[in-house]
Amino acid sequence: MRRIAYCCPFVPPELISACRLQPRPIIPRASSRVGGAVSVAGMCPYARAFVAEMLNEPRPGAVILTTRCDQMRRAADLLSQPQHPSVFLLNLPKTWQTRSARELYHSELARLVRFLAELSGHMPSDQDLAQSTRQYAHRRRFQNDSTCAPAARSSGTKVKGGGNSHVPLALVGGPLLREHLAVFDLVSACGGRIILNATESGERSLPGQIDESQLACSPFNELTRIYFEFIPDVFQRPGTRLLNWIEDRLRDRPVRGLIVHRYVWCDLWHAQVARLRDRFDLPLLDLDHGDQDGPNTIRLSTRVQAFLEALR
């Protein structure tokens, strides 16, 4: 079965499976290079690592990228070479409140199905799609929240922490590289505990629950709804959706501090740090990850340690 790689939470694996292809959510490893000849100066380390992973062997049958940020568009350009796997660029609406934004996402998913069906030779029926959607919903129901998100789902990562003496924290931000999954252990070793994973690799990227009656009526519309109406992201405007989502979770969790995980070349999360400070009356640690090959653990642990000491 051909493997279809993706890393954005707005790409439904339900659609890929319904087309009899194998969804392959990617948690890239840090990489300082993309091929020998390609210049990647000023590129988000996550987008760069994703491109590098796509060029490693074994290569996927196709790659799905989205227009959530300029860096991912650039990644799509870098991968759009005849010798590379086929690339599908899914257009995501920047806004989320209007009917036309939802219709755009719906029509983009329809375009994606046609692309996938061409690859596999199988156009899914409504029944295929409903069955695939139910299977994923069932799987998510029995998994820990933070292990269900695209990245953590395949890594088996669980939120770790110690007992009640650990300081409860929220981790907020963009997607994690494979090396960054160590941040849960690092926080735990420094006396903290992440009780809300609001990174792109955590529960924030989970679609909503399915409505059986809507699914029976139109599986495609229902799939659009559970993704479009439930996943908040930093690129969406107005940005209140993401902030409201975090605020709702903080209401019933005793979080005492926010750790923001972001990359130096990511303008979206850079701008979000100030909004988080304004909105939440909580101490905030801005963990920016630079261009080095993987997270700088000494720098990281010193900063996490100092933050937790101040909180205790």
Instruction: Please select the residue that binds ligand SF4; options are 69, 79, 194, 231, rule is CB under 6 A.
Output: 69
In the complex, minimum distance from the CB of residue 38 to ligand SF4, in angstroms, rounded to a whole number:
17
Nearer to ligand SF4 by Cβ, of 223 and 260: the residue is 260
Would you count residue 287 as binding ligand SF4 (CB under 6 A)? Answer: no
Measured from the CB of residue 72, what is the shortest distance to ligand SF4 in angstroms?
5
Instruction: Quote the CA–CA distance of 248 and 199 in Å, as a whole number.
Output: 15
Quick one: which segment of 42-50, 80-88, 247-255, 286-294 binds ligand SF4 (CB under 6 A)? 42-50
Other C-beta atoms lying within 10 Å of the C-beta of residue 20: 17
CB of 218 to ligand SF4, least distance (A): 31
Fill in the per-residue mask, 160 to 199: x = in contact with ligand SF4 (CB under 6 A), - = not in contact. --------------xx------------------------
Q: Binder to ligand SF4 among 5, 19, 177, 268 (CB under 6 A)?
A: 268
Q: Check binding of 263 to ligand SF4 (CB under 6 A).
A: yes
- Give, rounded to a whole angstrom, the gap between the first and last alpha carbons of the chain: 52
Based on the shown chain and the rule CB under 6 A, indicate whether residue 227 belongs to the binding site for ligand SF4.
no
Q: What are the DSSP calls for the chain, one per residue?
A: --EEEE--TTS-HHHHHHTT-EEEE--PPP-S-STTT---TT--HHHHHHHHHHHSSSPPSEEEEE-SSHHHHHHHHHH-STTSPEEEEE---SB-SSHHHHHHHHHHHHHHHHHHHHHHT-PPPHHHHHHHHHHHHHHHHTS-HHHHSHHHHHHT------STTSEEEEEEESPPPGGGGGHHHHHHHTTEEEEEEEETTTGGG------HHHHHH-HHHHHHHHHHTT---TT-BSTHHHHHHHHHHHHTS---EEEEEEETT-HHHHHHHHHHHHH--S-EEEEEE-SSSS--HHHHHHHHHHHHHHH-
18 in contact with ligand SF4 (CB under 6 A): no
Q: Is 46 in the site for ligand SF4 (CB under 6 A)?
A: yes
96 binds ligand SF4 (CB under 6 A): no
CB closer to ligand SF4 out of 26 and 268: 268
Residue 47 makes contact with ligand SF4 by CB under 6 A: yes
19 binds ligand SF4 (CB under 6 A): no
- How far is Cα 230 from Cα 233, in angstroms, rounded to an integer? 10
Closer of 51 and 112 to ligand SF4 (Cβ): 51
CB under 6 A: which stretch of 44-52, 110-118, 124-132, 147-155 binds ligand SF4?
A: 44-52
Nearer to ligand SF4, 80 or 305 (CB): 80
Cα angle: 298, vertex 299, 305; to 5 degrees? 85
**Can residue 228 be called a binding residue for ligand SF4 (CB under 6 A)?**
no
Closer to ligand SF4 at the Cβ: 96 or 263? 263
Among 31, 71, 199, 205, the residue binding ligand SF4 under the rule CB under 6 A is 71
Contact residues for ligand SF4 (CB under 6 A)? Answer: 44, 46-47, 68-69, 71-72, 174-175, 263, 266, 268-269
